[in-house]
Homo-oligomer: A and B are copies of this chain.
Amino acid sequence: MSYDIRDITLAERGRQRIAWAARHMPVLNQIKDEFAREQPFQGRRIAASLHITTETAALLSALHAGGAEVALCASNPLSTQDDVCAALAESGIAVYACYSEDLTTYQQHIEQTLALDPHLVMDDGADLIVEVHNRSQGSSVVAGIEETTSGVTRARALAEQKLLRFPVIAVNDTPTKRFFDNRYGTGQNTIDGILRATNIFLAGATFVVAGYGWCGRGIALRARGMGARVIVCEINATRALEAVMEGFQVLSMTEAAPLGDIFITATGMSGVISEQHLRQMKDGAILGNSGHFDIEVDVAALRKLATSTTEIRDHLSEFRLSNGRTLYLLAEGRLVGQVAAEASPAAVMDLSFADQALSTRYLLQPDLQLPPAVYDVPPDIDERVAQLKLQALGIKLDTLNESQLAYQHAWQLGTVAAS
């Protein structure tokens, strides 16, 4: 089996860390056991572009256990953990990724991964899906799965422009993914990434969150939980009102720019922090991004404004501006929790990757006929994942008795009849 990784001797370290993650993924472990018994992927080839973390290793291991041939590349040049690559390569997965690879290598690795001629592409950011669409017709791909907001946006754009060639499940949008991984997972990993890169004091800091979607909500919640004073910027009125009523200050970025000590974007949109905003910021302001692509902070504008740039700590670059102020950029503007920390923890990726694993099985059923479109995770998969997680946590739900089940349909019972 072929692979292209940093250093195969890191495999043992990788296996130890993967085992630690797997301890906290009981749902995925149960699905892996099921896959190992049932071999649903015999003869199937899966290509994946993912953040190569210990949790990702656990997912691929489950697919592999189910009989799939698997190839893997990065979904971001800075989120690859080289020891994980080594462990995966030794376990028989064709890994093409190194931490901090340049974009040319990144692209080559995509191509090497697609050389598997996969039946299914599994994406975090849609780089594989798009690469397949950039090529002339003729691949074996029958389905795709997309894990993150930015990638779903790309898949939907393909679909709107009638270009999408195969069905794609938007795992990102399913409740057991976005309520948990996006909110609490990204919330935690963003704080973690900021602290590892800066050791900055959050208590009393003015923390600006751009975007109050599920990721932004989680970041705002955790920043407040660490003692920061949080300001939210939004483009959507209902979300902005929710932020207000959670007690956050809501301002436009133009208003917030001169106030913030720390800025984190989580929007999926380009140019959220623009040159104009950069010019307004306080001396010492720290900028970072938790969205998939490095386009939310206008890094090019920052470079243009700077008279010097220095990496002063791992994942922390200092930009001295010609206006006399100094700004600091986290993780080159790439997702700070994936790059400067270790991405979302295993216990929450357990949900997202269980959704991925079960959606993969669903999409690779021999007799499935789905027209090209973006689909939700089938609700029974979502529900099963939630149920399995609760069982693993030892939590009991209430259940409706017969009288209660009947009550749901008893429209006659109102103020007078029911009392």
Chain B residues within 8 Å of A396, by CB: 251-252, 255
Q: Mark A379-398, 1 if CB is under 8 A from B, else 0.
A: 00011001101100101111
| A195–B240 touching, CB < 8 Å | no
Known: A244-B393, A398-B233, A408-B157. A414 touches B226 (CB 8 A): no
Interface centre among A157, A158, A237, A293 (most CB of B within 10 A): A237
Known: A224-B225, A397-B252. A293 touches B341 (CB 8 A): no
Q: Which of B253, B293, B397, B411 contacts A415 (CB 8 A)?
A: B293
A134 to B241 alpha-carbon distance, docked (Å): 40
Give A395-419 interface residues, CB cut-off 8 Å to B.
Answer: 395-401, 403-404, 407-416, 418-419
Q: Mark A121-135, 1 if CB is under 8 A from B, else 0.
A: 000011100100110
Instruction: Name the CB-closest residue of B to A133.
Output: B411
Name the distance in Å between A219's Cβ and chain B's nearest Cβ. Answer: 12
Name the distance in Å between A14's Cβ and chain B's nearest Cβ. Answer: 11
Chain B residues within 8 Å of A242, by CB: 179-180
| B244–A414 touching, CB < 8 Å | no
Known: A313-B20, A397-B236. A199 touches B76 (CB 8 A): no
| A418–B294 touching, CB < 8 Å | yes
A216 at the interface (CB under 8 A from B): no
Instruction: Name the CB-closest residue of B to A195.
Output: B192
A412 to B157 alpha-carbon distance, docked (Å): 9
| B404–A17 touching, CB < 8 Å | no
The segment from A32-40, A59-67, A91-99, A201-209 found at the interface with B is A201-209
Chain B residues within 8 Å of A235, by CB: 397-400
A408 to B244 alpha-carbon distance, docked (Å): 26
Known: A238-B179, A399-B235, A411-B155. A228 touches B247 (CB 8 A): yes
Q: Which of B200, B234, B312, B415 contacts A76 (CB 8 A)?
A: B415
Instruction: Name the CB-closest residue of B to A401.
Output: B271
Q: Which of B54, B310, B404 contacts A270 (CB 8 A)?
A: B404
Chain B residues within 8 Å of A400, by CB: 235, 269
Name the distance in Å between A3's Cβ and chain B's nearest Cβ. Answer: 20
A16 to B314 alpha-carbon distance, docked (Å): 11
| B184–A245 touching, CB < 8 Å | yes
Kindly list 17 other residue pairs between chains A and B, CB separation below 8 angstroms, not including A17-B312, A130-B411, A192-B195: A19-B312, A20-B313, A24-B201, A103-B416, A153-B411, A161-B409, A180-B242, A187-B227, A188-B227, A199-B346, A200-B347, A228-B247, A230-B247, A237-B390, A241-B351, A252-B398, A270-B418
**Can you name 11 A-B residue pairings with CB atoms under 8 Å?**
A23-B284, A157-B409, A161-B411, A179-B238, A184-B227, A187-B203, A188-B226, A203-B247, A235-B399, A269-B404, A295-B407
